[in-house]
Amino acid sequence: MSSATTESQPGPRARVAVITGGARRIGRTVAERLHALGFDIALHYRSAHVQAQELQQQLNAQRAGSCAIFAADFARLESVAAFCQAVLAAYGRIDLLVNNASGFEATPIAVASPEQFDSMLASNLRGPYFLIQGMLPGLASGSSIVNILDTHVHRPLRDFNAYCAAKAGMESLTRSLAVELGPDIRVNGVAPGAILWPEGDDAYDEAARERTIAATPLQRMGCPEDIARTVAFLACDAPFISGQVIAVDGGRSLTF
Protein backbone atom coordinates (compact mmCIF):
# COMPACT_ATOMS: atom_id res chain seq x y z
CA MET A 1 0.00 0.00 0.00
CA SER A 2 1.83 3.10 -1.17
CA SER A 3 -0.86 5.75 -0.99
CA ALA A 4 -3.81 6.79 1.11
CA THR A 5 -7.36 6.36 -0.10
CA THR A 6 -10.52 7.90 1.24
CA GLU A 7 -14.16 6.91 1.06
CA SER A 8 -17.12 9.30 1.43
CA GLN A 9 -16.96 13.03 1.95
CA PRO A 10 -17.08 14.86 5.28
CA GLY A 11 -20.13 16.87 6.23
CA PRO A 12 -20.35 20.55 7.25
CA ARG A 13 -17.47 22.01 9.24
CA ALA A 14 -17.22 20.76 12.81
CA ARG A 15 -14.29 20.02 15.07
CA VAL A 16 -12.25 17.34 13.33
CA ALA A 17 -10.38 14.52 15.02
CA VAL A 18 -7.91 12.38 13.07
CA ILE A 19 -7.59 8.97 14.72
CA THR A 20 -4.97 6.53 13.50
CA GLY A 21 -5.62 2.82 13.90
CA GLY A 22 -9.21 3.79 14.62
CA ALA A 23 -11.12 0.82 13.25
CA ARG A 24 -10.61 -1.59 16.12
CA ARG A 25 -9.96 -2.00 19.85
CA ILE A 26 -8.97 1.18 21.73
CA GLY A 27 -8.91 3.33 18.60
CA ARG A 28 -12.52 2.46 17.80
CA THR A 29 -13.67 3.37 21.31
CA VAL A 30 -11.79 6.69 21.13
CA ALA A 31 -13.50 7.43 17.81
CA GLU A 32 -16.92 6.66 19.24
CA ARG A 33 -16.30 8.83 22.30
CA LEU A 34 -15.06 11.83 20.34
CA HIS A 35 -17.89 11.50 17.84
CA ALA A 36 -20.39 11.58 20.69
CA LEU A 37 -18.78 14.86 21.79
CA GLY A 38 -19.43 16.39 18.39
CA PHE A 39 -16.21 15.76 16.52
CA ASP A 40 -16.19 14.73 12.90
CA ILE A 41 -13.90 11.73 12.56
CA ALA A 42 -11.17 11.17 9.99
CA LEU A 43 -10.59 7.47 10.64
CA HIS A 44 -7.35 5.84 9.57
CA TYR A 45 -6.91 2.12 9.08
CA ARG A 46 -4.22 -0.03 7.51
CA SER A 47 -5.80 -3.42 6.85
CA ALA A 48 -9.04 -3.45 8.89
CA HIS A 49 -11.15 -2.31 5.95
CA VAL A 50 -14.33 -4.13 6.94
CA GLN A 51 -14.23 -2.85 10.52
CA ALA A 52 -13.49 0.69 9.32
CA GLN A 53 -16.48 0.62 6.98
CA GLU A 54 -18.73 -0.71 9.74
CA LEU A 55 -17.70 2.06 12.11
CA GLN A 56 -18.07 4.67 9.39
CA GLN A 57 -21.61 3.51 8.69
CA GLN A 58 -22.42 3.47 12.41
CA LEU A 59 -21.19 7.03 12.97
CA ASN A 60 -22.72 8.43 9.80
CA ALA A 61 -26.07 6.89 10.76
CA GLN A 62 -25.89 8.95 13.94
CA ARG A 63 -24.81 12.15 12.18
CA ALA A 64 -24.71 12.26 8.39
CA GLY A 65 -21.31 12.94 6.84
CA SER A 66 -19.50 12.90 10.17
CA CYS A 67 -16.98 10.15 9.43
CA ALA A 68 -14.67 9.47 6.51
CA ILE A 69 -12.20 6.61 6.35
CA PHE A 70 -8.66 6.70 5.00
CA ALA A 71 -6.34 3.78 4.29
CA ALA A 72 -2.59 4.13 4.74
CA ASP A 73 0.45 2.09 5.70
CA PHE A 74 2.51 4.30 8.01
CA ALA A 75 5.56 2.07 7.62
CA ARG A 76 5.90 3.67 4.17
CA LEU A 77 6.70 7.38 4.21
CA GLU A 78 5.06 7.93 0.83
CA SER A 79 1.86 6.54 2.31
CA VAL A 80 2.13 8.88 5.30
CA ALA A 81 2.48 11.83 2.93
CA ALA A 82 -0.47 10.71 0.81
CA PHE A 83 -2.60 10.25 3.92
CA CYS A 84 -1.82 13.76 5.16
CA GLN A 85 -2.58 15.23 1.74
CA ALA A 86 -5.91 13.40 1.53
CA VAL A 87 -7.04 14.39 5.03
CA LEU A 88 -6.04 18.02 4.66
CA ALA A 89 -7.72 18.22 1.26
CA ALA A 90 -10.91 16.85 2.78
CA TYR A 91 -11.00 18.96 5.95
CA GLY A 92 -8.52 21.83 5.78
CA ARG A 93 -8.24 22.36 9.53
CA ILE A 94 -7.59 19.58 12.07
CA ASP A 95 -8.49 20.15 15.71
CA LEU A 96 -7.15 16.92 17.18
CA LEU A 97 -4.69 14.25 16.09
CA VAL A 98 -4.74 10.99 18.04
CA ASN A 99 -1.71 8.83 17.30
CA ASN A 100 -3.06 5.41 18.22
CA ALA A 101 -1.83 3.10 15.42
CA SER A 102 0.92 0.82 16.68
CA GLY A 103 2.87 -2.32 15.89
CA PHE A 104 3.48 -4.91 18.61
CA GLU A 105 5.91 -7.77 18.14
CA ALA A 106 8.40 -9.65 20.28
CA THR A 107 12.04 -9.04 19.31
CA PRO A 108 14.29 -11.08 21.63
CA ILE A 109 17.72 -9.52 21.38
CA ALA A 110 19.43 -12.82 20.61
CA VAL A 111 17.45 -13.43 17.44
CA ALA A 112 15.83 -10.13 16.39
CA SER A 113 16.41 -9.13 12.79
CA PRO A 114 17.07 -5.63 11.47
CA GLU A 115 13.76 -5.89 9.64
CA GLN A 116 11.86 -6.57 12.87
CA PHE A 117 13.61 -3.70 14.63
CA ASP A 118 12.88 -1.34 11.76
CA SER A 119 9.24 -2.44 11.72
CA MET A 120 8.75 -1.55 15.39
CA LEU A 121 10.51 1.77 14.93
CA ALA A 122 8.49 2.60 11.82
CA SER A 123 5.08 1.87 13.26
CA ASN A 124 5.63 3.28 16.74
CA LEU A 125 7.93 6.27 16.21
CA ARG A 126 8.95 7.17 12.67
CA GLY A 127 5.45 6.94 11.20
CA PRO A 128 3.83 9.11 13.92
CA TYR A 129 6.73 11.58 13.74
CA PHE A 130 6.27 12.24 10.04
CA LEU A 131 2.50 12.12 10.38
CA ILE A 132 2.67 15.01 12.84
CA GLN A 133 5.00 16.83 10.48
CA GLY A 134 2.63 16.32 7.57
CA MET A 135 -0.40 17.45 9.58
CA LEU A 136 1.18 20.69 10.80
CA PRO A 137 -0.35 22.85 8.05
CA GLY A 138 -3.81 21.86 9.31
CA LEU A 139 -3.11 22.02 13.05
CA ALA A 140 -4.03 25.64 13.73
CA SER A 141 -4.00 27.55 17.00
CA GLY A 142 -5.96 25.75 19.70
CA SER A 143 -5.52 22.27 18.26
CA SER A 144 -3.90 19.39 20.09
CA ILE A 145 -2.14 16.08 19.67
CA VAL A 146 -2.63 13.06 21.92
CA ASN A 147 -0.19 10.18 21.56
CA ILE A 148 -1.14 6.74 22.81
CA LEU A 149 1.95 5.41 24.58
CA ASP A 150 2.47 2.46 26.93
CA THR A 151 3.26 2.02 30.62
CA HIS A 152 5.83 -0.60 29.54
CA VAL A 153 8.12 2.29 28.65
CA HIS A 154 8.90 2.34 32.38
CA ARG A 155 8.11 -1.31 33.16
CA PRO A 156 9.92 -3.16 30.35
CA LEU A 157 8.10 -6.09 28.83
CA ARG A 158 10.43 -9.05 28.39
CA ASP A 159 11.45 -9.71 24.77
CA PHE A 160 9.61 -6.61 23.50
CA ASN A 161 12.69 -4.40 23.64
CA ALA A 162 12.32 -2.76 20.21
CA TYR A 163 8.65 -1.99 20.83
CA CYS A 164 9.41 -0.50 24.25
CA ALA A 165 12.33 1.51 22.87
CA ALA A 166 10.16 2.97 20.11
CA LYS A 167 7.39 3.87 22.55
CA ALA A 168 9.98 5.48 24.83
CA GLY A 169 11.07 7.58 21.88
CA MET A 170 7.46 8.58 21.30
CA GLU A 171 7.10 9.60 24.94
CA SER A 172 10.20 11.77 24.66
CA LEU A 173 8.85 13.23 21.42
CA THR A 174 5.58 14.09 23.17
CA ARG A 175 7.44 16.31 25.63
CA SER A 176 9.79 17.78 23.01
CA LEU A 177 6.95 18.76 20.71
CA ALA A 178 4.97 20.31 23.56
CA VAL A 179 7.85 22.77 23.85
CA GLU A 180 8.40 23.17 20.12
CA LEU A 181 4.77 23.54 19.04
CA GLY A 182 3.50 25.67 21.91
CA PRO A 183 1.73 27.96 22.41
CA ASP A 184 -0.52 27.13 19.48
CA ILE A 185 -0.62 23.32 19.73
CA ARG A 186 -0.77 21.24 22.89
CA VAL A 187 0.85 17.79 22.89
CA ASN A 188 0.13 15.13 25.51
CA GLY A 189 0.24 11.38 25.91
CA VAL A 190 -1.88 8.63 27.41
CA ALA A 191 -0.11 5.49 28.61
CA PRO A 192 -2.48 2.52 28.98
CA GLY A 193 -1.77 -0.28 31.40
CA ALA A 194 -3.83 -3.48 31.42
CA ILE A 195 -6.75 -2.40 29.23
CA LEU A 196 -7.00 -5.05 26.52
CA TRP A 197 -4.70 -8.03 26.40
CA PRO A 198 -2.56 -8.21 23.26
CA GLU A 199 -4.01 -10.40 20.53
CA GLY A 200 -2.29 -13.77 20.84
CA ASP A 201 -0.30 -14.90 23.84
CA ASP A 202 3.19 -13.66 22.92
CA ALA A 203 3.38 -11.50 26.01
CA TYR A 204 0.56 -12.55 28.32
CA ASP A 205 -0.40 -16.13 29.05
CA GLU A 206 -3.03 -16.75 31.72
CA ALA A 207 -0.51 -16.78 34.56
CA ALA A 208 1.00 -13.48 33.44
CA ARG A 209 -2.45 -11.92 33.23
CA GLU A 210 -3.27 -13.02 36.76
CA ARG A 211 0.04 -11.63 38.06
CA THR A 212 -0.58 -8.28 36.36
CA ILE A 213 -4.02 -7.87 37.88
CA ALA A 214 -2.81 -9.01 41.32
CA ALA A 215 -0.09 -6.33 41.23
CA THR A 216 -2.54 -3.58 40.22
CA PRO A 217 -3.83 -1.57 43.20
CA LEU A 218 -7.35 -1.44 41.74
CA GLN A 219 -7.23 -5.25 41.34
CA ARG A 220 -8.86 -5.30 37.92
CA MET A 221 -8.30 -4.51 34.28
CA GLY A 222 -9.31 -1.23 32.80
CA CYS A 223 -11.43 -0.88 29.67
CA PRO A 224 -11.08 1.00 26.38
CA GLU A 225 -13.53 3.62 27.65
CA ASP A 226 -10.96 4.59 30.31
CA ILE A 227 -8.53 5.54 27.55
CA ALA A 228 -11.20 7.26 25.46
CA ARG A 229 -12.32 9.40 28.39
CA THR A 230 -8.73 10.45 29.09
CA VAL A 231 -8.11 11.36 25.45
CA ALA A 232 -11.33 13.40 25.45
CA PHE A 233 -10.30 15.15 28.67
CA LEU A 234 -6.92 16.15 27.25
CA ALA A 235 -8.49 17.31 23.98
CA CYS A 236 -11.46 19.21 25.38
CA ASP A 237 -11.06 20.04 29.06
CA ALA A 238 -7.36 20.59 29.69
CA PRO A 239 -6.37 23.88 28.02
CA PHE A 240 -3.42 24.41 30.40
CA ILE A 241 -2.01 20.88 30.17
CA SER A 242 0.76 20.16 27.67
CA GLY A 243 3.77 17.88 27.61
CA GLN A 244 2.25 15.44 30.08
CA VAL A 245 1.78 11.68 29.96
CA ILE A 246 -1.13 10.28 31.94
CA ALA A 247 -0.80 6.65 33.00
CA VAL A 248 -4.19 4.93 32.88
CA ASP A 249 -3.17 1.73 34.61
CA GLY A 250 -5.13 1.30 37.83
CA GLY A 251 -2.06 2.31 39.82
CA ARG A 252 0.13 -0.48 38.42
CA SER A 253 3.04 1.90 37.79
CA LEU A 254 3.26 2.48 41.57
CA THR A 255 4.04 -1.15 42.32
CA PHE A 256 7.29 -1.62 40.41
pLDDT the model gives residue 179: 98
pLDDT the model gives residue 11: 45
pLDDT the model gives residue 172: 98
- Judge contact between 100 and 146, C-beta under 8 A: no
pLDDT the model gives residue 26: 94
- Judge contact between 74 and 127, C-beta under 8 A: yes
Could you tell me how many residues make up the chain? 256
- Judge contact between 26 and 100, C-beta under 8 A: yes
For the chain, list the domains and their CATH numbers: 5-247 (3.40.50.720)
Choosing from 91, 129, 163, 204, the catalytic residue is: 163
Q: What is the pTM of this model?
A: 0.91
45 among known catalytic residues: no
In this structure, the number of other CB atoms found within 10 A of the CB of residue 68 comes to 23
Q: pLDDT tens track of the chain, all 256 residues?
A: 445 555 555 444 789 999 999 999 999 999 999 999 999 999 999 999 999 999 999 999 999 999 999 999 999 999 999 999 999 999 999 999 999 999 999 999 999 999 999 999 999 999 999 999 999 999 989 999 999 999 989 988 899 999 999 999 999 999 999 999 999 999 999 999 887 766 655 556 677 777 778 878 887 888 999 999 999 999 999 999 999 999 998 888 887 6
pLDDT the model gives residue 10: 46
For 104-135, letters b (16+ CB in 10 Å) and e give: bbbbeeeebeeebbebbbbbbbbbbbbbbebb
- Judge contact between 26 and 34, C-beta under 8 A: no
